[in-house]
Amino acid sequence: MTRQEKSQQTVTIFHKNLLPQEEMLEVKKKRKQISIGIPKERDKNEKRIAITPLSVEVLAKNGHKVIVEEGAGLDANFTDMSFSDAGAIITKQREEVFQADVVLKILPFNKEEIELLKGNQLVISALNIGILTNEEIRLLMKKKLTALAFELLTDNDNCLPVMRSMSEITGRMSILIASEYLSNEKIGMGKILGSITGVNPSEVVIIGAGTAGEYAAKTALGLGALVKIFDNSVFRLKNLQQSVSQHVFSSILQPNILSNSLRTADVVIGAVNLMEHKSGYIVTEDMLMQMKKGAVIIDISIDQGGCFETSRLTSHDKPVFVKHGIVHYCVPNIASSVARTASYALSNIFAPILSRIGDSGGIASLIREDEGLRKGIYLYKGILTNNFIGNYFDIASQDINLLITAF
């Protein structure tokens, strides 16, 4: 090596040593091949799967190992053969799936599933604070896991991609379900949801102008129904009005106006974020008793306690009950009733994230780079990083932005 080459090498090493930590990470970052475990959901009401064969094919071609539990996709009409042909490993051994670097499922991890995990992994699922127990969160911490709640995951536009995608499906499905229960075929009053020539259109009241409410409104309007929308935010009402591209009746949530609209409604969709309402439910039992007999309510907010005082949790097996002559549909995971469509929507979000974990050299590197992903992390290497969960379970939490500089 010449004197000039040695001098140049010394300068390069010197400059590297002076680089900030973030830039040093870029220098050291090396692509990593990861293993991904996809277990079968044990709840018969959950039929979705988070990754489809098409996404498995992309991940496998990039060198990642995808392990799918036998029968995991059958409820969404994805056969084991379709996953195998895409490059996945199909296993009958449930324990094998939980040994992967990343374990991805829909429902929160229960005690039995947590015990199967080897530890020091990334786990991705719904958080669902109403189901998670103190014991389970402490078991997750003990395993030194990094945990991502997909309902907290944020994209570059500061939106919640998983929640928006599932809400879009839920909003559209709520109208189709209501239409079914309005008909004589089920237990309804024998009306079509929408309109035909010479007959008054059915009336649909939507409480909540978020994503679910928006797509419920679009679907109902497409069928020719008369739509009325209520929300406690004028901003959201304006956005929805612009989105549907036609004039609809809209109002702030005033009890008297809402009560009058409920009296003539054929269908009521409850799609409001109840965390914004200290009083909990929106429609009281007295208000509901003034509605027409045979009317249908779809309580999309049932996983937060329900929009209606008379609501109680139902399932896909027994989705409805009748109270005061009103048909109540209170299934929390409506998107699971169209499991194949919902699975494609979820896979479109998760597959790129899994690819980026490998490209970044691991989850720790990607968490440092991606603020939106960071917002979805509630455990980092076994340390609780979500204030709300910490307060809920009386467990100390730490700021993830400080933790990622320490590890």
Q: What is the pLDDT of residue 275?
A: 62
Q: What is the mean pLDDT of residues 355-370?
A: 91
Please tell me the distance from the alpha carbon of residue 395 to that of residue 132, in angstroms, as a whole number: 14
Higher pLDDT, 159 or 141: 141
Same fold, 21-152+338-406 and 166-332: yes
What residue spans define the domains of the chain? 21-152+338-406, 166-332
Please tell me the distance from the alpha carbon of residue 236 to that of residue 242, in angstroms, as a whole number: 10
* Cβ neighbours of residue 183 closer than 8 Å, sequence gap 6 or more: 190, 191, 192
Number of neighbours of residue 210 by Cβ within 10 angstroms? 21
Nearest to 333 by CA among 45, 42, 43: 45
Cα angle 375, 361, 136 (rounded to 5 degrees) comes to 45
Q: Is the pLDDT assigned to residue 367 strictly greater than 70?
A: yes
Residue 179 φ/ψ, nearest 5 degrees: -60, -40
Give per-residue pLDDT as tens, 196-241: 889 999 999 999 999 999 999 999 999 999 999 999 999 999 999 9
The per-residue pLDDT of the chain, averaged, comes to 89
Q: Retrieve residue 58's tokens.
A: 């992309």
Give per-residue pLDDT as tens, 3-52: 454 444 443 443 444 445 444 444 445 788 999 999 999 988 899 999 99
Residue 264 φ/ψ, nearest 5 degrees: -105, 0
Q: What is the pLDDT of residue 388?
A: 85
Q: What is the pLDDT of residue 19?
A: 45
Q: What is the mean pLDDT of residues 161-186?
A: 92
Give per-residue pLDDT as tens, 95-127: 999 999 999 999 999 999 999 999 999 999 998
Higher pLDDT, 131 or 317: 317
Q: What is the pLDDT of residue 143?
A: 95
CA dihedral sign, ordered 300, 304, 308, 310: positive
Q: What is the pLDDT of residue 402?
A: 87
Give per-residue pLDDT as tens, 156-170: 878 889 999 999 999
Please tell me the distance from the alpha carbon of residue 66 to that of residue 140, in angstroms, as a whole number: 23
Q: What is the pLDDT of residue 38?
A: 98
The burial class, CB within 10 Å (0-12 / 13-18 / 19+), for 111 is exposed
CATH node for 166-332: 3.40.50.720
Q: Is the pLDDT assigned to residue 350 strictly greater than 50?
A: yes
Q: What is the pLDDT of residue 27?
A: 44
Q: What is the pLDDT of residue 23?
A: 47
Q: Is the pLDDT assigned to residue 268 strictly greater than 60?
A: yes
Q: Retrieve residue 13's tokens.
A: 């090493």
CATH node for 21-152+338-406: 3.40.50.720
Q: Is the pLDDT assigned to residue 142 strictly greater than 60?
A: yes
Whether the full predicted model's pTM is greater than 0.95, yes or no, is no
Q: Is the pLDDT assigned to residue 270 strictly greater than 60?
A: yes
Number of neighbours of residue 258 by Cβ within 10 angstroms? 20
Residue with tokens 């129904």: 225
